[in-house]
Amino acid sequence: CCPPGIRFTYSDINFQILGEVVQRISGEPLASYCDEHIFGPLGMKDTFFDPPPGIRHRIAPTLWNRKNGKMLRGTVHDEVAYRMGGVAGHAGLFSTVDDLSIFARMILNGGTIENMKILEPSTVERMTLPQSPSDRLPLRGLGWEVHVPFASNGDALFPAGSFGHTGFTGTGIWIDPVSGTYVILLTSRLHPDGRGNAEPLRSQILSLVAEAVGRISSEEALERRPLLKNYYGEGSRKKVQTGLEVLAAGEFSPLTGLRVGLITNHSGLDSGGRRAIDLFHRAPGLKLTKIFTPEHGLSGRNEGKISHTRDSLTGLPVYSLYGNVLKPSEKMLAGLDALVFDIQDMGVRFYTYITTLGYAMEAAARKGIAFYVLDRPNPITGSAVQGPIMEKNFKSFTGYFPLPIRHGMTVGELAQLFNTENRIGAKLHVIKMAGYDRTSWYDETGLPWVNPSPNLRTLTQGILYPGVAMVEGANVSVGRGTATPFELVGAPWIDADQLTQYLNGRQIRGVEFTRAHFTPDRDRFKNRECRGVRILLTDRQALNSPSLGIEIASALYRLYPKDFEIEKMLPLIGAPWLLDPLKEKDPHFIVSQWQEPLETFRGLRLRYLLY
């Protein structure tokens, strides 16, 4: 195996042994000990091992028992715990939200609730501090998984120091001592056929709760729980200052005396969650007079065309650049001395925010006003350059410039490239980030995750997006209208088992596939069951996401040539040369054919890199 302190492996055996240790030390059966020392004193009246028959009608069913033809209900599902009489350290406990809420409040209160002490505060502290190797994720306390700041599994959820655990039937409990919040989800994902998946629901609920409570930066969480600082290396805590924060630290001096229009949305925040709009509005020496928004509007949640409106906090006019117009008009720019762009991009050619950037630069150049870009990280690294390059005649709102699908540039770098290569002639100023390493993923920057658009809710989805979105133009669903967009590919005409087996057989680096059945509640195939695959990201460093897109397209065409409308992929791919090879050649051949153009682009790109 491994020497102590090197590796963490989750195992039910550990908890089974722990239950036996409790019995031997206390001299009481585990169930009796828990009743006497935990459940009873806390008033958890509906929490049992091996619940009595009289209450089993209240318990959610799981699976059909094939031996007797009856539905399992109130009987532990875990086979080992069942053989141990339904009482074990790792499984067999039945409870309710009300009872578990009492337990969570006790933990939040340092082991005491309503003058009833169950644990010492020092015990709770130790339980919820990492006990596993600090460089091996996920970190584990004593029984709890402890959230690491900026780790990819955190995304938009709770900050450093929050902790929780999930259960086999889809259940979960999460506790955040910094905000004083707990979330309990009780599910029976196994009912009725054992194929249910509660993970998307858990993720969505956590995201909604975290958003409702208000985002707390991991730095703030570490300040409130100083002991946690000992468990996070400097690499995990490194902090990037965005262009917005650099500008604010300099008291907005480049904009002194200017009347400013700000192009932004919900992602235009500093690391403390303050809006760029509010920082500009309060800044002395400049006058913010107008706000402009890209696709999805100021909130980042809208779909379709968006009308002009007003900002509810400042009262300033908000002009939509995704409605009847896509570019700032002469009238909109009247009275302005400068436009400032502060929006989080996703690092993908067909993400429309960079088209809005280009269009706005053109408008500013025509007006003769200055244009400032407040730079932000490329979430999927600024080092990977992948995918086919768009041909110029495919220029559209989803393709402003002949870029590869994954361009490996920040918005500030793209602005420089657009301005020079398209001869825009804008009076361009890029406010650079401080502390940015272009090889970093977003969860390594120290910045809080904010969904950049409605259907990119986690960094994992952002990493898969450049590949999965390549097939979105065709007649398939990529999970829009579900809890996990861009982690799914399916359609009513797909055989899930067949596609899963085929794609896993391709041994695509960085991902694996499981069969999936899902029903979107909007967008393509609304309210229709789709069959296909769920994509599991296993190694983001190894994944070439545009190559993944080609693999998926190739699989769909080979398995379903009469159903898959492959030609409809072209507007997003932007490279008609690969259509015929995609029908006839191995995907590896197609990927090899875009390497030479990529090298040419890398040479062009090099001229505009800032980091």
Same domain for 563 and 535: yes
Residue at which a domain ends, from 444, 467, 499: 444
Tens-place pLDDT, residues 309-365: 999 999 999 999 999 999 999 999 999 999 999 999 999 999 999 999 999 999 999
Same domain for 111 and 88: no
Same domain for 193 and 283: no
Contact 163, 141 (CB under 8 A): yes
Whole-angstrom distance, CA of residue 117 vs CA of residue 42 = 9
Average pLDDT of span 500-516: 96
Among 450, 451, 447, CA closest to 485: 451
Report the CATH number at residue 159.
Answer: 3.40.710.10
Average pLDDT of span 507-511: 95
Report the CATH number at residue 401.
Answer: 3.40.50.12170
Mean pLDDT, the chain, integer: 90
Tokens of 149: 């700041």
Average pLDDT of span 167-186: 88
Whole-angstrom distance, CA of residue 320 vs CA of residue 124 = 50
Whole-angstrom distance, CA of residue 396 vs CA of residue 373 = 22
Is 228 within the bounds of a domain?
no
Is 587 within the bounds of a domain?
no
Angle between helices 353-367 and 411-421 (to 10 degrees): 50
Same domain for 265 and 403: yes
pLDDT surpassing 80 at residue 291 = yes
Q: How many domains is the chain built from? A: 4
Contact 184, 173 (CB under 8 A): yes
Tens-place pLDDT, residues 98-150: 999 999 999 999 999 998 999 998 888 888 877 776 555 567 788 888 864 33
Angle between helices 545-559 and 496-505 (to 10 degrees): 130
Residue at which a domain ends, from 398, 415, 444: 444
Same domain for 305 and 426: yes
Same domain for 358 and 259: yes
Is 606 within the bounds of a domain?
no
Omega before 138 cis (within 30°)?
yes
Q: Which of the four pLDDT bands, split at 50, 70 and 90, describes residue 153?
A: very low
Is 596 within the bounds of a domain?
no
Is 512 within the bounds of a domain?
yes
Q: Which domain holds residue 532?
A: 459-574
The 10 Å Cβ neighbour count of residue 147 is 24
Residue at which a domain ends, from 444, 477, 499: 444
Same domain for 423 and 510: no
Tokens of 294: 């890209």
Is 234 within the bounds of a domain?
no
Average pLDDT of span 572-594: 96
pLDDT value, residue 237: 47
Average pLDDT of span 412-429: 98
What 3 state SS string does 481-499 have?
A: CCCCCCCEEEECCCCHHHH
Same domain for 147 and 60: no
Same domain for 183 and 125: yes
Is 167 within the bounds of a domain?
yes
Question: Percentage of the chain with pLDDT > 90?
Answer: 69
Could you tell me what percentage of the chain is helix, strand and coil, using 3-state DSSP and rounding each to the nearest 5?
35, 15, 50
pLDDT surpassing 80 at residue 218 = no
Same domain for 114 and 73: no
Same domain for 338 and 261: yes
Whole-angstrom distance, CA of residue 578 vs CA of residue 570 = 9
Same domain for 470 and 343: no
Is 582 within the bounds of a domain?
no
pLDDT value, residue 193: 77
HSE of 519, CA atoms in CB hemisphere, 13 A: 3
Whole-angstrom distance, CA of residue 602 vs CA of residue 409 = 11
Query: Which one has a higher pLDDT value, 232 or 145?
Result: 145
pLDDT value, residue 177: 86
